[in-house]
Amino acid sequence: MNYDSGRTRSSLARMTKGKNMKALNEIRIGKALGFIFFTLYGVLIDIVLFSPLKIFLLRLAGAKIGNDVVIHKVRFFNQYHHGFSNLEIGNYCFLGDEVMLDLADKIIIEDHVTISNRALILTHTNVGYKDHPLQENYPRIFKKVKIEKGSFIGAGAIILPGVTISQGAVVGAGAVVTKNVAKNTVVIGSPAKFLKKLK
């Protein structure tokens, strides 16, 4: 029987009614199992101290990662949707400590990209359960983020869903990037604004 069939769903709904398991009802059992597996896999990646071993485990779970990449203590979340296949990293990239990557949609990081400590890259918005009052105003969205070659993301910057950071751009520390950033451009602040053009 298909895990997502109506019958399974309604019996699951009966079993979990009033038991604080609304989340399980909404994501369904197949996704819940995926959630458990990939959360544990994320913990394994987390406790592995050495970048080459982290990269090996990420590739094994579907990520595409090039050569000469260093991945420090990066945290991944929402990998239960598609495993790690939403993660693509080119060559010669560096991802610092406590960078957080939302793998609900694709994150594409091209060659020679540096992402500094505590930067947060978001690829989805979900205000809550399907019947959350704000769903009407802000329905769930998923949008990929692309960071083109030779860019630099400063410490603590936040990149919102759908944004492209174009080739050779610089995002200042603490910036909140809500729109695409043009080629060779430096942006700072919240929301991120133009600071200067680089040659």
Ligand X SMILES: CC(C)(COP(=O)(O)OP(=O)(O)OC[C@H]1O[C@@H](n2cnc3c(N)ncnc32)[C@H](O)[C@@H]1OP(=O)(O)O)[C@@H](O)C(=O)NCCC(=O)NCCS
Distance of CA 36 to the CA centre of its chain: 17
DSSP letter string over 170-190? EE-TT-EE-S-B-TTEEEETT
The arrangement of strands across the sheet holding 164-165 comes to: 64-65, 87-89, 107-109, 145-147, 164-165
Binding residues among 89-148 for ligand X as defined by CB under 6 A:
116
Respond yes or no: is residue 81 known to be catalytic: no
In the complex, the smallest distance separating the C-beta of residue 14 from ligand X, rounded to whole angstroms, is 52
Question: Interface with ligand X includes 168 (CB under 6 A)?
Answer: no
In the complex, the smallest distance separating the C-beta of residue 122 from ligand X, rounded to whole angstroms, is 18
Question: Interface with ligand X includes 174 (CB under 6 A)?
Answer: yes
Binding residue for ligand X, selected from 70, 100, 173, 176, defined by CB under 6 A: 173
Task: Give the Cα separation of 186 and 192 in Å (integer).
Answer: 9
Binding residues among 138-157 for ligand X as defined by CB under 6 A:
154-155
- Choose between 11 and 190: whose C-beta lies nearer to ligand X: 190
Token pair 């595409």 in the structure block, residue? 64
For residue 101, is it left (φ>0), alpha (ψ between -120 and 50) or beta?
Answer: beta
Site of interaction with ligand X (CB under 6 A): 116, 154-155, 170, 172-174, 186, 188-189, 195
Catalytic residues: 132
